[in-house]
Structure 1
Amino acid sequence: MRRSVIASTLFTAALAGLAGCASQSGQDAGSDQAPAVERRGSFTDAPVEQQAPLLPSAYFVGDGTTFVGWHCTPRQDVVTATQGDSLRLWTTHGAEQLPQAVVDQGERYQQGELSAHVVGDRAVIKSGRGRLQCEATARRDSLRRTDKPGVMFYARGNEPGWHLSLANDVPRIDMSLDYGEREASLPYRVTTLDNEAGRVILQSGRADAPFELRIESGACFDDMAGTPWPAQVTLTVNGQQLQGCGQGIAP
């Protein structure tokens, strides 16, 4: 599990300029020399006209309603979600979707050498690399558009608490950092979008308010509550990294 790291000067005067009065490793995204932004500032930007990008399907659970976190032996954590007659499975290496197969007891899903046999709170996952004996340890309801109106992707982390959301219509990110002490609403641009690998990198659309957001499909667990998520998230501001978990929001 990854832990969030943040300095008290997360947003510098670069973001203060937006206020007009008185957010499983990224790159340096700003100057550490500028003074800190006044707390509880709210920063906005002019409307963005472009459309929001289509994110990798591995971030979404479709018609699935529940994420299940599994602790497996040999040591590995896995996240699953049932989608009709298939199973979405996330490991530390990425995501796979397995169609349902016939079995006498429980539920079995298989795609090539990869299979998952689930019976209640226990599962056996097999692949060409070996066999995992797993036990369900946590469950979380999948977020829907009714929970997060207008949001395409949502992420959160701890120490200190932060969260962010990507709008579903335009390339805009809303960030709340340092337990809500700093907030920002900014345009972004896509620098990497790899659907097959489930990897997306976004950077600020404002040169005077830099940040970088990296999203990768893979099993992620909230480092305080232990709840399961399908994406690993790293937000970098002023060279400081905030690490957490996220998911795509289905309509």
Structure 2
Amino acid sequence: MSRLHVFAALGLSLLLTGCATAPAPITTHEHAPLLPSTLFPGDAEAFTAWRCSPDQGVVTAAAAEDELRVWSTHGAWRLTPAVVAGGERYEQGELSFWRTADGAVVESPRGRLMCQASMRRLALTREQRPGVMFHARGNEPGWMATLAHDRPEVLLSLDYGSREQRLPYRVIQMDNEAGRVVLASGRGDTPFELRIEARACFDDMSGEPFPARVTLSVEGEQYRGCGQGIAP
């Protein structure tokens, strides 16, 4: 998928210069739109959470030995394997992720991060979430948002499931390079905005890792949580 930004502290923001595409205009779809690939695990079966020093959180998803997808608080990238004497090393340009028996090292021209795996979570599948293309959730109060895979429709479940609405939506921003999507209600009488960004996200109760940060704005309230794209 697209590239991975790891940390402003390492100066990797320079890698993004000039890479973002212009936001798409407001569009409507008869069918569900294709979401940025950086919101999905690809062929990986699980996500791994890493805690790094200096203090950072990173999420990875490894698809066999073909690639390593990495998410940080600033973006998402895809690294490819490199030949090393020991461990597993993945690179993109001058950015690398080197996994060894003791943990992992993230390197850039500006510095190095020492990381330890803290948690592993199996990726959601279509079998677990039939008909769902993207699933998001948050806590306090508990909420969920699920995008249908075949039509522009979202199921919003708020206040621990006590309020549910199934609503059409329209795309008001789609930036595949940055891994950013903004959706708005397709009905004037029930406004909402759902903002999805490819960023390392950790459930604030369980600590489970996800590849997307999600913000839902509805009825004057704002809900924050994590999400994951679900491949067919």
TM-score by length of 1: 0.79
d(CA) in 1 for partners of 2:212, 2:145 = 13
- Deviation sequence 1:62-113 (CA, Å, 0-9, x none): 1100100000000110000002310000000100000011112111100101
User: What are the superposed Cα offsets for residues 16-54 of structure 1, whole Å, 9 maximum, x if unpaired?
Assistant: xxxxxxxxxxxxxxxxxxxxxxxxxxxxxxxx9810000
Aligned to 1:175: 156
Equivalent runs, 1:77-96 vs 2, <5 Å: 77-84=57-64, 85-96=66-77
TM alignment of 1:6-85, pairs within 5 A: 50-84=30-64, 85=66
2:35 and 2:144 mapped to 1: Cα distance? 18
Deviations 1:163-209 (A, max 9, x none): 11000100000011100110000000000000001000000000000
Indicate the residue corresponding to 2:25 in structure 1: none
Query: Which runs of structure 2 are paired with 1:1-251 in the superposition (5 Å)?
Result: 50-84=30-64, 85-120=66-101, 122-251=103-232
What amino acid is aligned across from residue 87 of structure 2 in structure 1? G
TM-score by length of 2: 0.86
Decide whether aligned partners of structure 1 residues 92 and 132 sit closer, same or farther in structure 2, where only a CA change above 3 A counts. same
Q: Which amino acid aligns with 1:173?
A: V
Secondary structure at 1:55 match in 2: coil
Root-mean-square deviation (CA, aligned residues, Å) is 1.2
Cα pair 1:93 1:218 within 8 Å, conserved: yes
145 and 116 in structure 1: CA distance in 2 versus 1, 3 angstrom threshold: same
1: CA distance between counterparts of 2:102 and 2:46? 14
Larger radius of gyration: 1
- Cα gap change, 1:133/1:150 in structure 2, threshold over 3 Å: closer, same or farther? same
Percent of aligned pairs with the same residue? Answer: 61
Unaligned runs of 5+ in 2: 1-27
Shift of 1:130: 1.9
Select the structure with the greater relative contact order (CA < 8 A; seq sep ≥ 6): 1
Stretches (4+) displaced over 6 A: none
Query: 1:13 matched to which residue of 2?
Result: none
